[in-house]
Every structure is written in C-alpha cells, then in structure tokens.
C-alpha cells in the first residue's frame, strides 16, 4: 500500500471509527430507554407514563445536540475540524461510562433521574458537533467528484453504532430478567470506556482539512461563523434543517420506538426484535455506500430526494408488516426502512458540503443536522407513544411519520444547490456569492 493509500485509509477509518463509537454511546441509551429505564429511574409512574418519561430523558439529549452543534461548530470553523473531533469523542464517551455506574431511583431517589438527565445532556452536546466534523474532515480531503463517497464513511457510524449497541444488548439480555435489571443493563455503558480509548488513538492521527487550512492561510476565517451563516444563508440553513428531519424520523421509529411497540403491543420477543434490527443495519450500511456512489455520479440532491420520497411511501407499510406478528414480514419492514435511511444518508454528506460555504460549513452542517434530529428523532418516539396510547392504533403514527418525511421531501426539492461542482478550496470566494 502506497503512502497516499495509507493516508486515505487512515482518514476514512478515523472518520468512521469516531462516529461509530459516538453513535454506539447514543443508541445504547435509546435501547436502555425502551427496555429498562422506565422502571429503574421512574418507578412511581404508570407503565405508559414511565415509558414516556424514559423516552423524554432520551429526548433531552436531542435538545443539547443543536446547542452542541452551534458551539462546537463555531470552534470547528475557527480552530479546525480535528481538535473538535477529539473533544466530542471525549464528552460522549465519558458521560456514557458514568451512566453505567449511576445508582437507580431505589438507591438515591430523585437524584437518580436528575443525574441521568444531566449526563444525557453532556452526551448530546458532544454528539451535536460530531457528525458535522466527521463528515467534513472526510469530504474536505476528497478528490474531485468523490465527496459523497468519502462522507459516507462518517455516515457508516450511525448504523455501526446501532449494530454494535444492539449486539451488546442482545448478548446481555440473555441474562435472567432480574440479573439484567440489576446489573446486566450497565455492561454496554461500561464497555464504552474501551471504545473511547481506541477512538482517541485513531482520531489523534487525523490530519487537518486542507480546505480549512487554505481559509486560514487567506485569513478568511469568520469571527462569528453562526452569525455569518444566518446573515448570508438563512434559507439554506432552514431548508437543510427541514430536509434533515426524515432520516432520524424513520431511524428512531424503527430503532427506538419499535423496541417498545414490538414487545408490548405486537408481542414479539425482545431478542427477536433486537436480532431483526441488527440484521437490518447491514443493509443500511450497504445502502449508504451505494447511494453515495450514485450521489457523486448523478447529484446528491437528486439521490436525497429519492430517499425522502421513499420514506413517505414506506411510513404505512412499516407498521402494517410488523403488525402481522410474522418475523419474515417484520424483517422486510426493517430492511426497506434501512434502505430508505441509507439512500438519504449516503447523499447527505456530499449535499451539505456543496451547499455551505467553507467558512461556515462546520456550523451549518452541524446545526442543520441536529435541528432535524431534534424534530425527527427526539419527538418521534414520544409522539408515537402518546398517539398509540390515545388511539390504540398504529395508523396515526404512520400518518405522523409520513408527514414528517413529506416536509423533508418538500425542503430538498426547493433547495437550490450552487451551480457546478466545487471540489477545491480555490472556489471559496465563488461559494460565498453562490445563489441559495
């Protein structure tokens, strides 16, 4: 392997490994919210209220994510991508480990859910700046017309995080019910400290983005990137945020809400659902890569729109197939949902690199991605739980999911991508004046 090939491999590995670890941390919390947090940290509530409280704590992390995206994005646009990626990994990893040693309500009373919420906030703040930095450190190193493909390696972190967190939970749920409730659920959180060490070793070897270095050399770094972004590109930021709703809306419906709905309502076993979700992530990873290749060839906007349209169409079959209580039908439901998410994820990194100016790209990408995650990811499990409790049917949930994805479809269709493919840092000045 030549030196350039080793450098490329290290870059893509660093982008992928870090996001995989951070999303492992994040999804471990989601799985625990669906399976045990309601009874361990909110035991005085009814079953439905306890589930809502657990999902509410899960949603708190999303509230911190846009703030983390703005703050970390600010320093990423001013100081560089690499330093912020080390910081985000540390924040998410340490907070996840501390959740693993947190006493429950039975041990310390109301302090337990309060501390759980605080640690979730720190975790969410760190994750808030992760995605934008990981995508940009890859895409801003990319050769001409390979930005989406390079960015797809950061996108792999989401399904790999789901895969690894579900795999670990699948293993620990083999413990007897009492052992799982008392200490087994802690193991996935404690394991994150080992992943943190690995991630830090890999991330420290990353090189800074060459496009950012050129902005620094030209003394064109924005003093207040978010202010510049809001002043110069408000429409782009709004539309990018809206189009970012659909992927987490589909993802968290399947990966978080379905764990609760599938076990309590459809009566699948917990292990069966975890296994199906685990298998679907392999399809998700493959779909991301294929979609990224297509985005580099036919345009990221076009591929993303196809994914958003697919999400609208699949909102009803997603639940109808699961409701059959047939394992094969549920597997098809999850596989297609994984493909739908993969199409959008494969195009998103390349699309965001195109539409945001280099001076504000970290801030713009992070804020838009996290605002979309707040609406699509944080609220969806809460709304789904409340809708089913009120109507005892999955139809209102499907309708809600379809409407969210329709918003993203409309946004990406309205979004105007600057003409031409700007692949080099020399195009910075042209990027600033591009019509949005």
Query: What does each C-alpha distance from 362 to 44, 74, 134, 368, 382 come to in angstroms?
Result: 43, 7, 10, 10, 29
Structural contact between residues 66 and 128, judged by C-beta atoms closer than 8 angstroms: yes
Asked whether residue 430 carries a pLDDT value surpassing 80, the answer given is no
Asked whether residue 50 carries a pLDDT value surpassing 70, the answer given is no
76 token code pair: 């990423």
Amino acid 434: pLDDT: 37
Distance CA 183, CA 122 (A): 23
| Sheet strands (E) in 74-148 | none
Q: Convert the pLDDT of each residue in 164-221 to its tens digit.
A: 887 888 788 788 778 888 899 999 999 888 888 888 888 777 777 788 888 888 888 8
| Sheet strands (E) in 214-263 | none
Q: Tokens 């909110």 correspond to what residue?
A: 42
Task: Select from 334, 338, 335, 358 the least CA-distant residue to 424.
Answer: 358
pTM of the model as a whole: 0.84
Q: Convert the pLDDT of each residue in 335-388 to its tens digit.
A: 999 999 999 999 999 999 999 988 999 999 999 999 998 899 878 888 998 999
- Which residue blocks in 356-394 are alpha helix, DSSP H? 361-373, 379-391
For residue 239, give every residue at least 6 positions away whose Cβ sits within 8 Å of its Cβ, in sequence order, or none: 411, 412, 414, 415
Mean predicted lDDT score pLDDT of the chain: 86
Structural contact between residues 214 and 344, judged by C-beta atoms closer than 8 angstroms: no
Compute the C-alpha angle 275/100/125, nearest 5°. Answer: 90
Distance CA 298, CA 16 (A): 24
Distance CA 124, CA 12 (A): 24
Q: Convert the pLDDT of each residue in 225-262 to its tens digit.
A: 989 999 999 999 999 999 999 999 999 899 878 878 99
Pick the most confident of 16-30, 44-58, 265-279, 309-323.
309-323
What's the domain count of the chain? Answer: 1
53 token code pair: 């409280």
- Parent domain of 162: 3-433
Distance CA 374, CA 352 (A): 18
CB-neighbour burial class of residue 231 (10 A; exposed 0-12, middle 13-18, buried 19+) = exposed
Asked whether residue 304 carries a pLDDT value surpassing 90, the answer given is yes
Instruction: Identify the CATH number of the domain in which residue 8 sits.
Output: 1.20.1250.20
For residue 162, give every residue at least 6 positions away whose Cβ sits within 8 Å of its Cβ, in sequence order, or none: 23, 27, 251, 255, 277, 281, 284
338 token code pair: 């994984």
Average pLDDT estimate for 405-432: 68
Q: Convert the pLDDT of each residue in 145-165 to its tens digit.
A: 888 999 888 889 888 888 888
Q: Convert the pLDDT of each residue in 61-100 to its tens digit.
A: 778 888 999 999 999 999 888 889 889 888 888 998 999 9
Structural contact between residues 296 and 350, judged by C-beta atoms closer than 8 angstroms: yes
């Amino acid at each position: 392997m030549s030196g350039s090939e080793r450098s490329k491999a290290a870059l893509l590995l660093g982008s992928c490994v870090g996001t995989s670890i951070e999303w492992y941390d994040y999804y471990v919390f989601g799985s625990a919210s669906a399976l045990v947090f309601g009874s361990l940290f909110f035991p005085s509530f009814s079953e439905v209220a306890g589930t809502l409280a657990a999902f509410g704590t899960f949603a708190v992390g999303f509230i911190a994510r846009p703030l983390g995206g703005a703050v970390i994005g600010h320093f990423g646009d001013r100081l560089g991508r690499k330093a912020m990626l080390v910081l985000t990994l540390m924040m998410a990893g340490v907070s996840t480990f501390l959740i693993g040693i947190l006493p429950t309500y039975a041990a310390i009373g109301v302090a337990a859910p309060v501390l759980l919420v605080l640690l979730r906030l720190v975790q969410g703040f760190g994750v808030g700046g992760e995605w934008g930095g990981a995508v940009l450190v890859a895409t801003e190193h990319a050769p001409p017309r390979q930005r989406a493909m390079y960015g797809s390696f950061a996108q792999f972190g989401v399904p790999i995080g789901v895969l690894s967190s579900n795999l670990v939970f699948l293993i620990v749920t083999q413990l007897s019910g009492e052992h799982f409730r008392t200490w087994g659920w802690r193991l996935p959180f404690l394991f994150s400290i080992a992943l943190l060490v690995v991630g830090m070793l890999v991330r420290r070897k990353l090189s800074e983005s060459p496009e950012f270095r050129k902005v620094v050399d030209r003394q064109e770094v924005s003093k207040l990137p978010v202010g510049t972004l809001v002043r110069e590109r408000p429409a782009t930021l709004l539309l990018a945020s809206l189009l970012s709703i659909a992927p987490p809306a589909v993802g968290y419906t399947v990966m978080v809400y379905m764990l609760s709905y599938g076990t309590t309502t459809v009566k699948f076993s917990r292990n069966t659902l975890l296994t199906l979700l685990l298998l679907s992530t392999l399809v998700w990873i493959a779909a991301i890569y294929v979609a990224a290749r297509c985005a580099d060839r036919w345009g990221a906007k076009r591929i993303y729109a196809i994914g958003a349209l697919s999400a609208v169409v699949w909102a009803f079959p997603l639940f109808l197939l699961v409701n059959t209580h047939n394992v094969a039908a549920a597997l098809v439901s999850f596989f297609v949902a994984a493909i739908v998410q993969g199409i959008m994820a494969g195009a998103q990194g390349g699309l965001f690199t195109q539409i945001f100016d280099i001076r504000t790209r970290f801030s713009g990408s992070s804020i838009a991605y996290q605002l979309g995650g707040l609406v699509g990811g944080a609220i969806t499990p809460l709304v789904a739980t409340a809708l089913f409790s009120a109507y005892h049917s999955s139809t209102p949930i499907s309708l809600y999911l379809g409407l969210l994805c329709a918003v993203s479809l409309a946004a990406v269709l309205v979004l105007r991508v600057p003409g031409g493919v700007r692949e080099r840092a020399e195009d910075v000045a042209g990027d600033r004046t591009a019509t949005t």
